[in-house]
Amino acid sequence: MFMQETMRWFGPHDIVRLSDIRQAGCEGVVTALHQIPVGEVWPIAAIEERKAMIEKEGMSWTVVESLPVSEDIKRQSGDYKTHIAYYKESLQNLAACGIKVITYNFMPVMDWVRTDISYTLPSGGKALYFERAAFIAFDLFMLKRPLAENDYTPAAIATAEHWWETHADAEKQAVFQNAMLGLPGSTGRFTPAEILAALDSYKGIDTARLKAHLFYFLREVVPVAESLGLKMAVHPDDPPYPVLGLPRIVSTAQDLRDIIASVPSPANGLCFCSGSLGVRPDNDLMSIIAELGAHIHFLHLRNTRRDEQGNFFEADHLNGDVDMVAVVRALLLLMKERRVALPVRPDHGHQLLDDHTKTTYPGYSAIGRLKGLAELRGLQRGLASILS
């Protein structure tokens, strides 16, 4: 049994077209109604319309990524009760349209963060990169977040000062632009004032409190998802540690364990993202699969390469810190045992060949992702022949 191969599509405005995804050999598409403001209901008509576009191209809408959780829900402020009621309504509507897997995250304010979205690899391909000193310099000297210095060691501040002194204005500007990128599926950027106001709105919300908010949300929505036959899949934090002083609570094996234990249900599950989890050396991906495999409903398979300074770049799918051969082997065995073909996407890809001439959503090039997917496909086929 092989994984169900998919790619993410950001909708009709994505310059990577559904027909490109089809040509990559995908049977499924991962998408979301990015046009609907976070917190509002996804109406059946809009879901059906999106579904029909995908089916017209000979594929199916396999996974929703993401049905976003509003900042009000994460903070338990303002309209959070209404937003939770709307979330349940969206789940009902998605289930009515036959969609089964729903991905979400619980990262406050920002989704994934990088400092460079076109980091040149030795091959000439380009990748996403997170440079810690540059990010701290952004925080301290560009964003000028109040009391930011309390979140870093003197040594980390010294590396950021060195970075600041040795980089040109254009490079600083590029880091600023990249760090302020808005949410996936939008081309917008936050303004410093917006970020600072959003950060301020999390004052007093520490790790324990944010976790309590997540568990409250899960206690509300998981029973609904379960009754509808849906699987919820929480996406890990990227990077998997606190950012800009905000707590992050989906970063470690213990976090994942706590989430699963908070509401025991087949509907309360995980998106296993090897790229996000793999950035922490203390995340042992093989033992996460062994322990929590029964709760994995969706796979993001990509690789990163980190260094001792806490920098990392997105490496070739089969050539980074994650032992992808071992991970795919463990996942194939897991699927066999569970008798389920899990949906997978290559997650991000490099910019290669004609990708360099196009502006896609960062990480979502066509050719780079096709390469990652094809490598994973070959790996699966090869392993399957040995395992059977």
Part of the chain binding ligand DNO (CB under 6 A), chosen from 98-106, 173-181, 261-269, 322-330 = 98-106
The residue count of the chain comes to: 388
Q: Which of 80, 347, 350, 361 is catalytic?
A: 347
Task: Find the shortest distance in angstroms from Cβ 153 to ligand DNO.
Answer: 28
Contact 304, 313 (CB under 8 A): yes
Q: Contact at 8 Å (CB) between 45 and 102?
A: no
User: Does 247 contact ligand DNO by CB under 6 A?
Assistant: no
Given the residues 119, 273, 295, 316, select the one marked as catalytic.
Answer: 273
Residues 313-352: x/- map of binding to ligand DNO (CB under 6 A)? ----------------------------------xx----
Going by the DSSP 8-state scheme, the letter that residue 139 receives in this structure is I
- Whether residue 26 lies in the annotated active site: no
Beta strands in 286-342 (DSSP E): 296-300, 303-306, 312-315
The distance of closest approach from Cβ of residue 235 to ligand DNO in the complex, given in angstroms and rounded to an integer, is 4
DSSP string, 55-96: HHTT-EEEEEE--PPPHHHHHT-TTHHHHHHHHHHHHHHHHH
Tell me which long-range contacts 93-96 makes (C-beta under 8 A, separation of at least 24): 93/41, 93/42, 93/43, 93/44, 93/47, 94/42, 94/47, 94/64, 94/67, 94/230, 95/228, 95/229, 95/230, 96/44
Separation between Cα atoms, residue 40 and residue 78, nearest integer Å: 14
- Select from 4, 105, 262, 303 the one that contacts ligand DNO (CB under 6 A): 105
162 tagged catalytic: no
Q: How many C-beta neighbours within 10 Å does residue 368 have?
A: 25
User: In which residue are the tokens 């501040």 written?
Assistant: 157
- Binding mask 171-200 toward ligand DNO (x if CB under 6 A, else -) reads -------------x----------------
Under rule CB under 6 A, residue 363 binds ligand DNO: yes
Contact call for residue 34 and ligand DNO (CB under 6 A): no
Q: 314 has which bridge partners?
A: 304
Please choose, out of 103-111, 290-298, 349-357, 375-383, the segment that lies near ligand DNO by the rule CB under 6 A: 103-111
112 forms part of the interface with ligand DNO (CB under 6 A): yes
Pick the closer one to ligand DNO by CB: 275 or 293.
275
202 is catalytic: no
31 binds ligand DNO (CB under 6 A): no
- Distance between CA atoms of residues 309 and 307, nearest Å: 5
Q: Is 62 in the site for ligand DNO (CB under 6 A)?
A: no
Enumerate binding residues for ligand DNO (CB under 6 A): 65-66, 103-105, 111-112, 184, 235, 300, 347-348, 363
Query: What residues are annotated to the active site?
Result: 235, 273, 300, 347-348, 364
